[in-house]
Amino acid sequence: MSELTITLLRLGYLALLWVLVLSSIAVLRRDLYGTRITKRRSRTGAPAPVPAAAGPAVATTGPPTAPTPVTAPRSARGQRAQRGAQRGARLVVTQGPLTGTILPLTQSAVVVGRAPGCTLVLEDDYSSSRHARIFPQGGAWYVEDMGSTNGTFVHDQSGDHKISGPTPLTPGQSVRVGRSVIELQG
Amino acid sequence: MATVEPHRVRAGRGVELGLLVLALALAVGAYALVGLGTSDEVPADVLGYGTGLAALALGMHLVLRWRAPFADPVILPVTVALNGIGLAMIYRIDVAYEGAGKDHGFAGRQLLWTTISVVLAAAVLVCLRDHRTLRRYTYTAMVVGLVLLGLPLLPVLGTSINGARIWVNVGSVGMQPAEFAKLALAVFFAGYLVTHRDTLALAGPRFAGLQLPRARDLGPILVVWAGSIAVLVFERDLGTSLLLFGLFVAMLYLATERVSWVVIGLLMFVGGAVVASSVFSHVAARFDAWLHAMDPEIFDRLYGGSGQLVRGLFGMASGGLFGTGWGQGRPDLVTYAESDFIVPSLGEELGLTGLLAILMLYVVLTQRGMRAAVGVRDGFGKLLAGGLAFVVAWQCFVVVGGVTRLIPLTGLTTPFLAYGGSSLLANWIIVALLLRVSDDARRPAPAARGVRPDEPLPGEVEAGPTRVPAASATRAPGTGAGVGAEPDDEHPTERIGGLA
């Protein structure tokens, strides 16, 4: 066998070795898991990530000075609760340091609080480390206080009410946790 | 302001298959090139060999698809590549030994051990559905580990080879139980530290910027230190003692995040090693060979000289940047070229370029282990994966550092490359455990299964005994990337109790 072939095979093998190394690293680059946090371009501009299906709730994602809780027609609420728990539901922070943050909901429960392990981590001195839990059941969403210091409040037409047990949450209704207000959108 | 959502996880089994093909090409290509380099023809059984290796690798791949579909896609190909390159090198040295009329037949035995190891790793993946099961055997693992460490000291079983009493003869097969002891002890350390890390991390005075532990918390580290020193004294094995102590200190650091433990551990080991080098001749000889390797009288010394080390260095030097090519060098001039000195053998035939690629494969393997540790949600899994990944990296560092004269030479095996059944078996089990943990780490959050539809309404659930434990919510989306700080980790016992 010629000298050239041997040299080519020798260098070719080294090249192949590095192809494996580099393609492994390329796989690592794409292999991300955990949470993705997408920054929105501007808070006051058009709320592009919010699909039109959200309806009147869009208005509440504006600046924190305009916390206008949505007043969807009563009759539509039941259907919306059904649909919201199935898909497309999300939590939107409408007041507090994280205003404008959107958390898409899946079929799993969501914990809100200051602890890093929470799904929605609040930078809010008035909330507890594991403050409240929002979970789906029977096609609707419920909010439950997890023994927080300052309590969890649900807003309805007659004002804020401190909750004591799991409380049903309809789309458009907002929950106050510390200084933050979180709204469920269907 | 921002949208928070879980990543769509690619299971990565297809990618794994692609990388496996590449890894198998490397393994079989090396075997063929060894034949070309030594006898100018491709070995006749290259097809059979390739088929066998491919069957093993694909079998493992199918087991992953079946039992751990979200396991890391890079770990298995990297391991297969390393094992294949090691097999080819051992075969190459075998050919040279055969030509020189020396004892040979290592490659066949290594191939047998590879088969056994892969089958066992697959069995671990099939049987062990959740790594948290191992936590139940924390103290059993401690006893098993210590027994395995002490086994070579038994009069009939243990044998002393080349001064180190680390071998156990079972029938005609010699085993190094320390390789399995490291597995058992990693399980024990993970289980022990996950319960005790708060006392170890938080209690105690501060001194010179270091959070010092309380005297009574020093107990376990003293026990392990004494154990590793006992290995050094009674079994005369520097490598195992270094491995043990390094593993423990690293896992202490992983668990507590306190630099003081690393400082204390290093000081204790350096102190122990200095005393040992002045008291024991074999340790002193290792230091001599390291510091004065090029002195003729030390080079020529029959026992404990630096001849082997320096010949390995010459081999790597003759390899240069691109190596001599498979089968073209003379790695067999170094004693134990197939086991302790397989790294210089590879350095000679593949050159610096090839050796660096191999070291990069180890880096990737370790990184994947550490990534699984970061991603997994339970404290025990974090410590176990972190500790096991560290062991692989630590062994590499000790071996490669030893043969390149960075640190004194110690008798540790290079994971997956070096000849040796016990080492191969233990390292494949490590890979199986890492795959198991990474499957748990990468698996997307399942739907909340706290309250079933047939259970009472939330209002009644609140008071009833079926109240959902808060722990079930940690599986919610977004907690996957939680680095270290899981609120539930402080009560792992309750969590595991709740899950069982």
Q: pLDDT tens across B321-370, in order?
A: 998 888 888 888 888 888 889 999 999 999 999 999 999 999 999 999 99
Say how many domains are in chain A: 2
Range(s) of the domain holding residue A5: 1-31
User: In Å, how far are B140, B179, B225, B256, B403 from B248, measured between CA atoms?
Assistant: 17, 15, 9, 12, 24
Residue A69 lies in a domain: no
**pLDDT tens digit sequence for B104-130:** 788 889 999 999 999 999 999 999 989
Residue B221 DSSP SS3? helix
Nearest residue in B to A30, CA atom: B10
Predicted confidence band of residue A36 (pLDDT cuts 50, 70, 90): low
Residue A38 lies in a domain: no
Q: Which residues pair with A182 in a beta bridge?
A: A93, A175
Cα–Cα distance for residue pair B393/B397, rounded to 1 Å: 6
pTM above 0.95, yes or no: no
Closest residue by Cα to residue B364 from B125, B24, B79: B79
Residue A91 φ/ψ, nearest 5 degrees: -105, 135
Cross-chain residue pair A166–B485, CB shorter than 8 Å = no
Residue A52 lies in a domain: no
A180 with A88, same domain?
A: yes
Distance from B125 to chain A by nearest Cα, in Å?
Answer: 22
A26 with A96, same domain?
A: no
**pLDDT tens digit sequence for A76-122:** 444 444 444 445 788 888 888 778 888 888 777 888 888 877 888 88
Cross-chain residue pair A35–B477, CB shorter than 8 Å = yes
- Ramachandran region of residue B238, left (φ > 0), alpha (ψ -120 to 50) or beta? alpha
Cross-chain residue pair A21–B486, CB shorter than 8 Å = no
Cross-chain residue pair A19–B22, CB shorter than 8 Å = yes
A101 with A164, same domain?
A: yes
Task: Sort out which chain B residues have CB atoms less than 8 A from A48's CB and list them.
Answer: none
Mean of the pLDDT values across residues A143-150? 88
A12 with A89, same domain?
A: no
Give counts: helices (H), strands (E), chain B. 17, 6
A27 with A115, same domain?
A: no
Q: Return averaged pLDDT per consecutive 10 residues of chain B, 500 residues in all.
A: 66 90 94 89 89 94 92 94 94 88 84 94 93 90 87 76 72 80 91 83 68 69 76 77 87 86 84 81 81 81 79 91 88 84 92 94 94 89 94 93 88 88 93 94 62 46 40 38 39 39
Residue A90 lies in a domain: yes
Residue A60 lies in a domain: no
Mean confidence (pLDDT) of chain A: 73
Among A30, A31, A37, the residue to mutate for chain B (most B Cβ within 10 A): A31
Cross-chain residue pair A14–B19, CB shorter than 8 Å = no
Residue B194 DSSP SS3? helix
Nearest residue in B to A103, CA atom: B4
Task: Sort out which chain B residues have CB atoms less than 8 A from A103's CB and list them.
Answer: 3-5, 478
Cα–Cα distance for residue pair B353/B339, rounded to 1 Å: 21
- Cα dihedral value B149, B153, B158, B163, nearest 10: 100
- Predicted local distance difference test score (pLDDT) of residue B88: 93
- Predicted local distance difference test score (pLDDT) of residue B346: 93
User: Residue A95 is part of a domain; what is its CATH number?
Assistant: 2.60.200.20
A99 with A158, same domain?
A: yes
Residue A63 lies in a domain: no
Instruction: Tell me the range of A50-64, A137-151, B2-16 where mean pLDDT is highest.
Output: A137-151
Mean of the pLDDT values across residues A141-169? 86
Predicted confidence band of residue A39 (pLDDT cuts 50, 70, 90): low
Task: Sort out which chain B residues have CB atoms less than 8 A from A43's CB and list them.
Answer: 1
Angle at alpha carbon of residue A159, lines to A77 and B467, rounded to 5°: 70
**Which residue of B328, B353, B361 is in closest CB contact with A14?**
B353
- Other beta carbons within 10 angstroms of residue B275's beta carbon come to 13
A26 with A90, same domain?
A: no
Longest distance between any two alpha carbons in chain B, whole Å: 86
- Predicted local distance difference test score (pLDDT) of residue A165: 85
**Which residue of A33, A102, A166 is in closest CB contact with B461?**
A166
Cross-chain residue pair A10–B72, CB shorter than 8 Å = no
Task: Sort out which chain A residues have CB atoms less than 8 A from B485's CB and list them.
Answer: 115-117
- Predicted local distance difference test score (pLDDT) of residue B221: 67
Strand locations in B176-289 (E): 206-207, 210-211
Residue A54 lies in a domain: no
Mean confidence (pLDDT) of chain B: 81
Residue A165 lies in a domain: yes
CA B497, distance to chain mean position in Å, is 29
Whether residue B425 contacts residue B179, with contact meaning beta carbons closer than 8 Å, is answered with yes
Locate A57 and state its tokens: 């709730």
Locate B362 and state its tokens: 């180890």
Mean of the pLDDT values across residues A22-45? 69
Cα–Cα distance for residue pair B152/B186, rounded to 1 Å: 20
